[in-house]
Structure 1
Amino acid sequence: LVLLTPEPTSLTDAYALIKVLKLTHGVEHFKVCVNMAPDHKTARDMFIRLHQACDTFLSGVSLDLVGVIPRDTGVRKAVVQQKPFCMSDPQSPAAKATLQLARDIAAWDAPENLDGNIKFFWKKLLFRG
């Protein structure tokens, strides 16, 4: 899961991460979530820009937009209160979107052929049991 925010530096960092994982570890399929999006159009635009960069410079990479976490003033309030925003205001837009994303991730099938390097790390971290 690659997390992206609607900022140019985030776009650059997300692309760099995808490039390293593709070239060094052979990862070709990525799920993308746009965080702190002011609206769905902006989130979609950021995803499209990342997708276009990958299509242009990295052959064989596929991206899926799997979540959008909206910009939410409740998150800032929770930070000031030093509380998790999902607990501080569970009905806030960001909390609802984050909880939905967590449910979606929990329902994903475990990838097959997890072998070595970073794949082994993620397998251990995400698929305990």
Structure 2
Amino acid sequence: MRDFNPRAFLEHVLLQLRNLGVDMSPACKEANSIERMERNPKPCFKLVLWGHTPDYNGPQPAYRFEGYYYPETRQFFVSGSSPSGDWGQILYPDHPCETPAEFAIRNHGLIDVDMSEITVTIE
């Protein structure tokens, strides 16, 4: 396996999202994180990122974006978790069934730190 620096990868994903116009400003007490999933048979890292939710009649809690990255195969898996229906339409009017981070990754993909393409699967 190539050398993989989890912290550098986390910062790289955040930078990509910001470059795509996604507001990833800190909006909660929780910190962005990356950790190795120990019971997985292949090297796998869980990323948890917090994105800024627009104000609607007052501040809203940050949304959580969670993904799993397999460095050996360059695969990134995301389980969609954003609000849908009326609430999703209010908070994310441009893409009500996905958070801004999910929407950006679905439409633009991700690249690795070494500029190779990552296969992204969003369910």
TM-score normalized by the length of structure 2: 0.27
- Of Structure 1 and Structure 2, the greater helix share is in 1
Larger Rg: 1
